[in-house]
Amino acid sequence: MKLTDGFWMLRPGVDVVYAQEAYDIWECGDTVDGPGLVVTAPTKRIDRRGDTLNRPTLTVTLSSPLEGVVRVRIAHHEGGPWHGGFALPGAVADGAGRTRADQDGGELTTGALTARVRRGAPWSLSFHSAGRVLTASGSKAQGYARIDADATVGAGPVEQAGTRPAPRERTVMHEQLDLAVGELIYGLGERFGPLVKNGQSVDVWNADGGTSSEQAYKNVPFYLSSRGYGVFVNDPGLVSFEVGTEAVERVQFSVDGEALEYFLIDGPTPKDVLARYTALTGRPPVVPAWSYGLWLSTSFTTDYDEKTVTSFVDEMARRDLPISVFHFDCFWMREFNWCDFEWDPRVFPDPDGMLARLHERDLRISVWVNPYIAQRSPLFREAAERGYLLRRPDGSVWQWDMWQAGMGLVDFTNPDATAWYQSHLRRLVEQGVDCFKTDFGERVPVDVVWADGSDPHRMHNLYAQLYNRAVHDVLVEARGEGDAVLFARAATAGGQSTPVHWGGDSTSTYASMAESLRGGLSLAFSGFAHWSHDIGGFEGTPDAGVYKRWTAFGLLSSHSRFHGSQSYRVPWMFDEEAVEVTRRFTRLKMRLMPYLFQAGIEAARTGAPVMRPMQLEFPGDPAVAYLDRQYMLGSDILVAPVFSPDGDVEVYLPDGQWTHLLTGETVTGGRWRRETHGFDSLPLYVRPGAVIPWGAREDRPDYDYLEGLRLRVFPGGAGVAEVTVTAPDGRAETFAIDRTEITE
């Protein structure tokens, strides 16, 4: 949201007043986080008594919900209701801050982080850690704006059938934090454009826009700075970010209303920032080992029945291609009836028997669901009469004809509606369904009334969290915490606690493969540990080359699924080499399961993602700052997917002696390499001195990792390395390996 016209002027229809000074500062023992500072910040410098008349004042409150985290609340009028922000399960009861105020100003200290307010003019709020300034809020940074209904204030969320905030006279709060020379910004959810967000205008507003646009399914109002801090805006509604755009020396973020709240999160490393952020907003659980295996889908609109499904499963087995999960997409239900949670009896006359037969093949079963109830379904009338569907202000049920005619949307703010929806899922779980693909959840209207009175603009993004949580809770209840997993598309802050998420609707091209990776890395920077994508692309049918390159990438991702829109994604439909590529990389992933499963356990413990941007592992190396075509799988394996038909790829290796995992070739890092790879290979390098737990089986992901385990020690390290391996049943062993005596 751009409010200014250049450096000096405002846009027509916009009026903004700014915090001009810290007029008084006092210590307060009963903020929301216990001890804190409260600052009166007039919007005019107070030189005489008359200056206190007829001027707005901002109240700025500093507190700490968690060590190393400062909460900043900026409010104009405090009398109105506030939406409450996101759930913060990691906030400590009595806060974590220490305060001091004197004639010079005030300080709030939490861990190594200090927020400092200088008394008097000009306005100055700065954040310090380990003896250096991280960032600061200075002149014209904290603002309160009034905007005419017809004012042009820059790009906003696009119209999506009633999901856009209606034009109206608005009040807006904004903050601007300084950008240092060379400072780079990452995160803000799963975004498919450039990984570095500098120079971008970003509206945090969930939309179903595919992977080839500026829109995003998973918008998260959190960014991570290359200077070792993060900023989380505690507002589930539309948050508008201007990252070095409107004010090129600053990041601006703004929200509608009378109050803005954000958290400044200390590092010093990017991993430390994510650890604190996920401690505050929620960590992912350990996902089941079987979920790391290959998922095979019916695809979206393809024709299929049990015979089709069985033929795919049989052929995968005949070709020695291990699969772990078979997924039934939406047409397992009758057309015009989504979601009635009933198998189409014309196509699946014996669903119980079919599921039992698939379980006998040692497969897990996933089925597609969404939060809509189509008018033709008998469930629609039941839900409408009981008040389980979202309603318009006039009391009528909100409906549309997108996807299926007359769909209504389940109101998950109504506990009874949630329980009703969950009862249908429980029936499917009892029937033999193991997990759910929770599709949609982005096109949520704002011209509605929620059962609990929630602000519709704030519920738009938050809906995905309520939806996914309702489904995830059913699986936890039925299967246990360690055996529950989703395949979800929409999310916002906190969504990392209901994994797994996938990238959404990509096209079947190399360019879309690359943009999908950018989205996954951006999501990793936003606190999400597990991520997947449609191997081969969703829209269209990939050529054999794209399919094979995407297969290698997909099987070196956290989670791996073959899925498409109007065509099947089984490898033999492309060529025989696609079968060989699938076999090679599926077997490789199975061997890596002791390593990958441990990375998932680390994610649950620390918040570190399984697929990691290079910047997380090598924050001191300036060469990785803009890298978005390679990543670390766990802490020790570097993956550079091939995005070209001829197999040419550029890869950067940081300092040290790297070893190619497939060939054993050792390469000195600290430089770029140009390589050419066949379809059975890609740049896949092991970090210097790494010890990789290597499993004994290549036919399934959920086996006893301790039986037949090898510890592969790679050159370039020194001293003793400790490696922990945890089996799916929870048994764990830690090994101390002297790297000077053993080499790969």
Whether the per-residue pLDDT at 161 is higher than 50: the answer is no
Whether the per-residue pLDDT at 393 is higher than 70: the answer is yes
Whether the per-residue pLDDT at 33 is higher than 80: the answer is yes
| Tens digits of residue pLDDT in 192-203 | 999 999 999 999
Closest by CA to 659, choosing from 669, 651, 667, is: 667
pLDDT at residue 44, as a whole number: 96
Task: Classify residue 743: in a domain, yes or no.
Answer: no
Q: What mean pLDDT comes out for the span 228-250?
A: 97
| HSE-up (13 A, CA, CB side) for residue 637 | 26
Q: How confident is the model at residue 156 (pLDDT cuts 50, 70, 90)?
A: low
- 509: amino acid identity, one letter: T
pLDDT at residue 153, as a whole number: 78
pLDDT at residue 164, as a whole number: 53
Q: What mean pLDDT comes out for the span 283-292?
A: 98
The domain spanning residue 11 has which CATH number? 2.60.40.1760
Reading phi first (left if > 0) and then psi (alpha if -120 to 50, else beta), residue 54 is in left
pLDDT at residue 151, as a whole number: 79
DSSP secondary structure of 168-217 = --EEEEEEEEE--TT--EEEEES--S-SS-TTEEEEE------SSSS--S
pLDDT at residue 169, as a whole number: 73
Q: Which of 263, 281, 299 is the last residue before a domain boundary? A: 281
| HSE-up (13 A, CA, CB side) for residue 605 | 6
Q: What mean pLDDT comes out for the span 602-616?
A: 98
Task: Classify residue 126: in a domain, yes or no.
Answer: yes
Q: What mean pLDDT comes out for the span 168-176?
A: 88
Task: Classify residue 612: in a domain, yes or no.
Answer: no
From residue 400, how far is each of 372, 403, 471 by CA, in Å?
Answer: 10, 9, 23
pLDDT at residue 83, as a whole number: 86
Q: How confident is the model at residue 168 (pLDDT cuts 50, 70, 90)?
A: low
pLDDT at residue 154, as a whole number: 61
Question: To which residue do tokens 């936003």 refer?
Answer: 526
pLDDT at residue 150, as a whole number: 77
- 57: amino acid identity, one letter: T
pLDDT at residue 739, as a whole number: 86
Give the domain range for residue 674. 636-738
Task: Classify residue 568: in a domain, yes or no.
Answer: no
Query: Which three-class secondary structure string do you get for 150-174?
Result: CCCCCCCCCCCCCCCCCCCCEEEEE
pLDDT at residue 740, as a whole number: 80
Whether the per-residue pLDDT at 473 is higher than 70: the answer is yes
Q: How confident is the model at residue 588 (pLDDT cuts 50, 70, 90)?
A: very high
pLDDT at residue 162, as a whole number: 53
Contact 326, 313 (CB under 8 A): yes
- Dist. CA 682–CA 588, nearest whole Å: 13
pLDDT at residue 535, as a whole number: 98
Whether the per-residue pLDDT at 517 is higher than 50: the answer is yes
- 312: amino acid identity, one letter: F
Q: What mean pLDDT comes out for the span 642-667?
A: 98
Mean pLDDT value across the chain: 96
Q: Which residues are catalytic?
A: 439, 442, 505
Task: Classify residue 505: in a domain, yes or no.
Answer: no
Whether the per-residue pLDDT at 742 is higher than 70: the answer is no
- 351: amino acid identity, one letter: P
In this prediction the pTM is: 0.97
Closest by CA to 340, choosing from 302, 317, 368, is: 368
Q: What mean pLDDT comes out for the span 80-99?
A: 94
pLDDT at residue 159, as a whole number: 45
Q: Which of 242, 258, 281 is the last residue before a domain boundary? A: 281
Closest by CA to 578, choosing from 539, 603, 546, 610, is: 546
Q: What percent helix, strand, coil does the chain show, rounded to 5? A: 25, 30, 45
pLDDT at residue 439, as a whole number: 97
Query: Which three-class secondary structure string do you get for 473-511?
Result: HHHHHHHCHHHCCEEECCECCCHHHCCCEECCCCECCHH
The domain spanning residue 712 has which CATH number? 2.60.40.1180
Task: Classify residue 589: in a domain, yes or no.
Answer: no
| Tens digits of residue pLDDT in 48-60 | 999 999 999 999 9
Task: Classify residue 683: in a domain, yes or no.
Answer: yes
pLDDT at residue 157, as a whole number: 55
Q: How many domains does the chain have?
A: 2
Whether the per-residue pLDDT at 282 is higher than 90: the answer is yes
Task: Classify residue 95: in a domain, yes or no.
Answer: yes
